[in-house]
Amino acid sequence: MRVLFPLLLVCGIVWAREPVRFRHGMVVAQEQHAAGVGAAVLKSGGNAVDAAVAVALALAVTHPTAGNLGGGGFLLLRTAQGQATFFDFREQAPLAATHDMYLGPDGKPTRDSIEGWRAAGVPGTVRGLELAHSKYGSRDWAELVAPAIKLAAEGYEISYGQARSMAGSKLLAKFPESRRIFQRDGVFIEPGERLYQPELATTLRRIAAGGAKGFYEGETARILAAEMRAHGGLITEEDLKLYRAVERKPLMGGYKGYGVITAPPPSSGGLGLLQILGVLNGTGYETTGFESAQTIHWMAEAMRRYYADRSEYLGDPGFFKVPVKGLLDPRYLDRLRASIDPAHASKSAAVKPGAPRDFEPAETTHFSIVDSAGNAVALTYTINGGYGSGVTVRGLGFLLNNEMDDFAAKPGEPNMFGLVQGESNSVQPRKRPLSSMTPTILVKDGKPFLVVGAPGGSRIITGVAQVVLNMLDFGMNVQDAIDAPRLHHQWMPDTLYLERGFSPDTIALLRARGHTVEQTGSVAVVEAIRVNGAWLEGGTDGRGRGKVAGY
Ligand code: DON
């Protein structure tokens, strides 16, 4: 004890689980075959963008709960030379979408935004990967599609976790083509059995040969539009042909000497991360110690205020003027900070979205990659819920997203993640639904420090924020920062969610401050790489099935 005590004082942390280390290149992804595909691309001299394309396409085969051709997402890149850029390939509402399309005759939201053909937005993944590759890739496109084709055509062994995940999906069991692919004789594929996806292999071969055109035009587009028509869905050949990925400027901020590069709208994630960090900065919240009731209180109050703002001010910037500068203005952050009572929980009903304009001048998956040159990619993409809408398109072999549920089907009413959202995020043709995905890269002294992101719906933002805070304010290594129990508050419902692992004494203290505390399942599933001098350190999240591969 005499030896340990001073050590504890220095580190502040008792436990340590070592991250996985490689020297040259690393992929941290949520499925092992796909992580291996990415590491092989890096080892053979491909760069981080090449590896990202290969991993994303491989995940579409080996991680059907979230990996996709039929969804969308965001790719954040920071090059070794220090340029940062962001590829937005979020889904878009079809041309025929309408404001009230998810309201029933009683005026209440239906389940149409969650399951079946009408839940799908126009997919963006293939266009997004192609755009990033055309600008920053170094390897031949077809070469990067090849591993995914092989995995689809030759099959791969289903893991225990995957088998359990499929068996747990009521949605997947509802649609005949999904059943045909993922079940044998009415039972989902068992661990150790091989999953073969010949139709998906054919769809991928068209992508290998024709690039994004091989998906958005021609045979694939024709089949997808015909199946949509036959089942009452909205996506047409015109929707597919019109879809464009967009290259955007990432949001840039800072926290305690680190640069933070993160996701701009139509993600709400980057703004959330920067606002939460900005409100906490200067409170001294961390001085009462990791996981103390006082620390948790400050974090929860900062989170509560951001989600109130999110409900009002965030949406597709092509349709709604998001007050980005106002939401991050230091004077606005001062005002939010000052509204927090250190001793008492606020009531969400009394916390209204702030007035940032006063300051305004005018089941997802994530992977992180760093290559040997120091290029870094954080990519989060999704079909929204696990297995998306549940629908696999006959003849094409891929699952369609249910991203339309990320819109406010009825402004003011909660969606699948309990998020209450406003008119800024209502359904409109060609609009992108607001996302919480938060691919982020931290920079220290001009070098990448952390490449991070997560699935987890509305909890992505708070999950990523806590891993950053655990590393920067509590001195944890990347693995410990991910392992530590997490909290979540999203304004509405007015509940402080705590994962397992918080002490009953702490919970009692939080309740005494007026928080409604509930125990919850995972707050996001974070996958991250820390660049630590000559070493790449991979942290995977035990809440999911993360794997590190590298060389
Ligand atoms: O874009 C979003 O915010 C959601 N569609 C993300 C969904 C998600 O993370 C589900 N996975 N756990």
The reply to whether 364 belongs to the active site is yes
Farthest CA pair distance, the chain: 74
Q: Is pLDDT of 216 > 60?
A: yes
Q: Which residues share a beta bridge with 547?
A: 29
In degrees and rounded to multiples of 5, residue 3 shows phi and psi of -75, -45
User: How far is the centre of ligand 1, averaged over its atoms, from the C-alpha of 437 (Å)?
Assistant: 7
Preceding amide of 493 cis, omega within 30: yes
Q: Is pLDDT of 121 > 80?
A: yes
Q: Is pLDDT of 361 > 80?
A: no
pLDDT tens per residue across span 338-357 = 999 999 999 999 998 877 76
Angle value at C-alpha 485, between 482 and 490, nearest 5 degrees: 100
pLDDT tens per residue across span 428-467 = 999 999 999 999 999 999 999 999 999 999 999 999 999 9
Q: Are strands 496-498 and 251-255 parallel, antiparallel or unpaired?
A: unpaired
Burial bucket for residue 6 (CB in 10 Å: 0-12, 13-18, 19+)? exposed
Q: Is pLDDT of 239 > 90?
A: yes
pLDDT on residue 230: 98
Pocket test for ligand 1, best of 384, 401, 541 (most atoms within 8 A of CB): 384
Q: Indicate which atom in ligand 1 lies nearest the CA of residue 403.
A: 5
280/120 Cα distance (integer angstroms): 37
Q: How does residue 470 score in pLDDT terms, banded at 50, 70 and 90?
A: very high
How many residues in the chain? 551
216/236 Cα distance (integer angstroms): 10
pLDDT tens per residue across span 393-441 = 999 999 999 999 999 999 888 888 888 898 999 999 999 999 999 999 9
Scored b (16 or more CB within 10 A) or e, 350-387 reads: ebebbebeebbeebbbbbbbbbbeebbbbbbbbbbbbb
Q: Is pLDDT of 362 > 90?
A: no
pLDDT tens per residue across span 70-106 = 999 999 999 999 999 999 999 999 999 999 999 999 9
CA neighbours within 13 Å on the CB side: how many for 314?
A: 29
pLDDT tens per residue across span 143-191 = 999 999 999 999 999 999 999 999 999 899 999 999 999 999 999 999 9
User: How far is the centre of ligand 1, averaged over its atoms, from the C-alpha of 528 (Å)?
Assistant: 17
Q: Is pLDDT of 478 > 60?
A: yes
Q: Is pLDDT of 259 > 50?
A: yes
181/194 Cα distance (integer angstroms): 11
182-186: long-range contacts at Cβ-Cβ below 8 A with a sequence spacing of 24 or more? Answer: 182/64
CA neighbours within 13 Å on the CB side: how many for 461?
A: 29
pLDDT on residue 286: 96
pLDDT on residue 418: 86
Residues with Cβ within 6 A of ligand 1?
A: 363-364, 382, 384, 403, 406, 435-437, 455-457, 460
Q: Indicate which atom in ligand 1 lies nearest the CA of residue 433.
A: 1
Q: How does residue 363 score in pLDDT terms, banded at 50, 70 and 90?
A: confident
Q: Is pLDDT of 246 > 60?
A: yes
Residues 6+ apart with CB under 8 A from 92: 121, 122, 124, 239, 243, 430, 431, 432
User: How far is the centre of ligand 1, averaged over its atoms, from the C-alpha of 90 (Å)?
Assistant: 11
Portion of the chain with pLDDT greater than 90, in percent: 92
Contact 250, 239 (CB under 8 A): no
Residue type at 129?
A: L
Active-site entry in 203, 364, 440, 495: 364
Residues 6+ apart with CB under 8 A from 512: none
* Crossing angle for the helix pair 198-210 and 48-62, to the nearest 10 degrees: 150
Tokens of 285: 């919240």
Residues 6+ apart with CB under 8 A from 82: 446
Q: Is pLDDT of 515 > 90?
A: yes
Query: Whose structure tokens read 């969610």?
Result: 497
Tokens of 138: 């170094």
Q: What is the mean pLDDT of the chain?
A: 94
pLDDT on residue 7: 42
**Which residue's CA is minimally distant from atom 10 of ligand 1?**
363
pLDDT on residue 11: 43
The closest alpha carbon to 263, from 462, 74, 527, 442, belongs to: 74
Q: Is pLDDT of 519 > 80?
A: yes
Q: Is pLDDT of 14 > 90?
A: no
| Mean pLDDT value of segment 515-542 | 96
pLDDT on residue 68: 98
**Which residue's CA is minimally distant from atom 1 of ligand 1?**
435
Q: Is pLDDT of 529 > 70?
A: yes
| Mean pLDDT value of segment 109-134 | 97
**Which residue's CA is minimally distant from atom 8 of ligand 1?**
457
Helix, strand, or coil (residue 377): strand
277/267 Cα distance (integer angstroms): 17
Q: Is pLDDT of 6 > 50?
A: no
